Amino acid sequence: MATEEYVPEILERGINPRKVKKIEYGERLLRLMAEHKNILLLNIDNVGSNQMQQVRIALRGRATFLMGKNTIIRRVFRDHIEAGNKEIEIMLPAIYGNIGFCFTNEDLGKIRKDIVSNQVPAPARTGAFAPVDVFVESGPTPLDPGQTAFFQALNIATKISKGAIEIINRVHLCKQGERVSSSAVALLTKLQVKPFFFGIKVTHVYEEGSFYDAAALDLTDDDLKNKFFNGVAKIAAVSLAINVPSKCSVPHHLARGFQKLVSIALETGFLFAEAQVFQDYLDNPDAFAVAAPAASDAPAAAAVEEDDDDDDDAAPAANIFGDAEEEEGY
């Protein structure tokens, strides 16, 4: 039922008309969830409206964004769960902070890449958590010598060079994960430095009933294959250790069985086709050795014969060339 159809009913029941927008938001949220199979949960801390609009334009026709208050979102989710749709219950613990949704039916990796690639430089703010370490490099600054006391208050070693303040040593001004102090903000402002880059962050992914951390989207096909075969190897090792066959350990059991059959055949002399190769090797191992190229020995022999005919002064030079040719042949 559309919202417009039951607005009179809402008014008759004495419900505040201002709640109509909340009802419309809930309907839109449920409609987008029904139309799209994938949802990206976004964190939009320190993201301005202009930057958000740029991301919307870049993904127009490929994805739909929806923001809202967490209390309303949780209320819509709980009502939806009570109605029998419990598949979204796993998303409730992640509904906190400054969040939003990105609904899409396209490749999640490409959509996420387009979202997080839009970042803009931003100045430091007092009390905000530093997303990265901030360093002030040594060298000249645009500040005049009259502001030396400001650097002394921050315990930053400086000197006067060519009528301007010069920082002597590199300074670790802000640490990642810690709050930015007012003095650090003042210094960065004076130096006209914007140390941070803010953008939309993708925190979680809801994909056809599965809910997981967005870092899983960074895994490549090779990473998934390596993880799968690593698990297969561990299962096979456990099966062999406890002597309980499994699908992962079957190749190893067959290989061990074949080794025992070959050992018995070589010991008793009753050979079969696959064991004959091993018996041939035991009888004549030289036949299986890789034959060295005989051509490499011919130039060396010829050089030695020439040395016998020449005088003693030429002998060392002939030996050097002979050694070089032997190494090249090797």
At 103, is the secondary structure helix, strand, or coil? strand
The total number of residues shown for the chain amounts to 330
CATH number for the segment(s) 134-195: 3.90.105.20
Instruction: Please state, in angstroms and rounded to a whole number, the distance separating the CA atoms of residues 52 and 54.
Output: 5
The confidence score (pLDDT) of residue 65 equals 93
Residue 29 φ/ψ, nearest 5 degrees: -60, -45
Tokens at residue 271, please?
A: 């050979």
Q: Is there a contact between 76 and 14 (Cβ–Cβ < 8 Å)?
A: no
What is the enclosing helix (H) or strand (E) of 252?
A: helix 250-268
Instruction: Please state, in angstroms and rounded to a whole number, the distance separating the CA atoms of residues 95 and 19.
Output: 21
The confidence score (pLDDT) of residue 290 equals 63
> What are the residue boundaries of the structural domains of the chain, listed by start?
3-118+200-218, 134-195, 294-329
Question: Nearest Cα to 110, choosing from 36, 218, 201, 33?
Answer: 218
In the block, which residue shows the tokens 């409609």? 31
Instruction: Please state, in angstroms and rounded to a whole number, the distance separating the CA atoms of residues 104 and 119.
Output: 21
Q: Look at 104-108, 175-179, 303-307 and tell me which has the smallest mean pLDDT.
A: 303-307
Over residues 212-261, the pLDDT tens digits come to 888 888 877 888 888 888 999 999 899 888 888 888 888 888 888 888 88
Report the interhelical angle of 250-268 vs 221-242 (nearest 10°).
50
Indicate the pLDDT class of residue 14, thresholds 50, 70 and 90. Answer: low
Q: Does the structure show a pLDDT above 50 at 56?
A: yes
Q: Per residue in 46-71, is it b (16+ CB within 10 Å) or e — as a string?
A: bbeeebbeebeeebeeebbbbebeee
> What does the DSSP assignment read for 4-40?
HHHHHHHHHTT--GGGHHHHHHHHHHHHHHHH-SEEE
**What fold characterizes domain 3-118+200-218?**
Alpha-Beta Plaits (3.30.70)
The confidence score (pLDDT) of residue 17 equals 63
